Amino acid sequence: MNENNFLSIERTIFDEEHEIFRSSVRRFMREHVIPNLDKWNRQGHPDRDVWLEAGKHGLLCVTIPPEYGGAGADRKYSSVLIEEQQRANAAGPGFVMHSEIVAGYIYRFGTEEQKQKWLPKMARGELIGSLAMTEPRGGSDLRAISTKASRMEGDYVINGAKTFITNGYITDLTIVALKTDKNDGSSGLSLIVVEADREGFQKSQPLEKVGQKSQDAAELFFDDVRVPQSNLLGEEGKGLHYLMQELAWERLMIAIRAVAGCEVALQNTVDYTKSRSAFGQNLIEFQNTKFKLAECKTKTQVARVFVDHCIDLAVDGKLDPESSAMAKWWCTELQNRVLDECVQLHGGYGYMLEYPVARAWTDARAQMIYGGTNEIMKEIISRSL
């Protein structure tokens, strides 16, 4: 984030076109997202019209090829979008889940018919996508999934429940991870696309969360939901394999957001401590303030270098699970430590939601949980020892 960035490090992974795109995204956030955040926070979900606006501005499904409605751009453009949404302090809308994860699965594993059916509408913001993995009785252990699909007269009949589903309340279609062979362990896991208007499919109201209130999360219920077998994504029984292929990029995206969050919080805190006085001098002049900010700045810049390296690897198709797990674990924990320091330096105002640092503080905590808990990240890293 070059504009108004107090960090001295020069980033070399973006070219002029990426920065032009950044300016466009920043303007979109300023005009269509930031003015609506208070409303979305109160109601627990973004309005649908912002998705249509994002589609008109070419901000959805940017890495999907033009023949399916996207821009055919590299993942650095996705990184820019993530950074600028974090810069706007906007937990929602769930553009990343929609464009990078759901559309990504359909593009990589779907049939030509599926791609033509869903992707152009997703790129225009007419269909909002979600991914339904987590269940009420299980989190990171995908092998323990109990939602199942049975074959019946050329259809799949789905029964089960999912929870904490990003975009779940406003979703139009969801990719459901479920068992097509309940006796076959992980190899019995499949991915099936379920449209929200299917009979027997129900959504809860937006879940009451500690933070990320502008981003809806909901429970999804499947009671004898019938979908045609043509809604199967990829091959039956290959679901876990497909999920594992994409998890490295998903986790890196969380790290990208976390480092951007550190940068924004630090900038806001530097500005605040320069303007706030105590005992006859600005807060920035106290040694404790300077040392705390110096520590946070250094750690953030170190994280930035590693994350930018991982972005390059992702664009080249070389990002490995261990590196993405390291990035997700380290950067999300760093963000929470940095934000805690920033809240403290704001004093009582740091606890007031009218200040960006307070909202960022409550929003950040979940990042150490979703995408696989940080304990799971350490397990993944340890396997390479």
Q: Which residues are catalytic?
A: 250
Beta bridge partners of 155: 152, 228
Shortest CA distance to 148 belongs to which of 167, 139, 161? 161
Other beta carbons within 10 angstroms of residue 342's beta carbon come to 29
Structure tokens at 334: 């760093």
Place of tokens 């924004």: 264
Contacts of range 111-118, beta carbons closer than 8 Å, 24 or more positions apart: 111/230, 113/230, 114/193, 114/230, 114/231, 114/233, 115/68, 116/68, 118/173, 118/193
The b/e string for 94-106 (b: 16+ C-beta within 10 A; e otherwise) is bbbbbbbbbbbbb
3-state helix, strand, coil in the chain (%, to 5): 55, 15, 30
Q: Which helix (H) or strand (E) holds 225?
A: strand 217-228
Backbone Cα Rg of the chain: 21
Peptide bond into 93 cis (omega under 30): yes
Helix axes 356-364, 321-345, angle to 10 degrees: 140
What is each CA distance from 103 to 127, 147, 218, in whole angstroms? 11, 22, 20
Give every CB contact of residue 258 below 8 A, 6+ residues apart in sequence. 303, 328, 331, 332, 334, 335, 364, 367
- Tell me, what amino acid is at 44? G
Supply the DSSP symbol for 61: S
Identify residue 253 by its one-letter amino acid code. M
State the pairing for strand pair 189-195/173-179: antiparallel
Q: Token pair of 260, please?
A: 């951007």
Query: What token pair was written down for 333?
Result: 């924990």
73: left (phi over 0), alpha (psi -120 to 50) or beta: beta
CA distance 92 to 365: 15
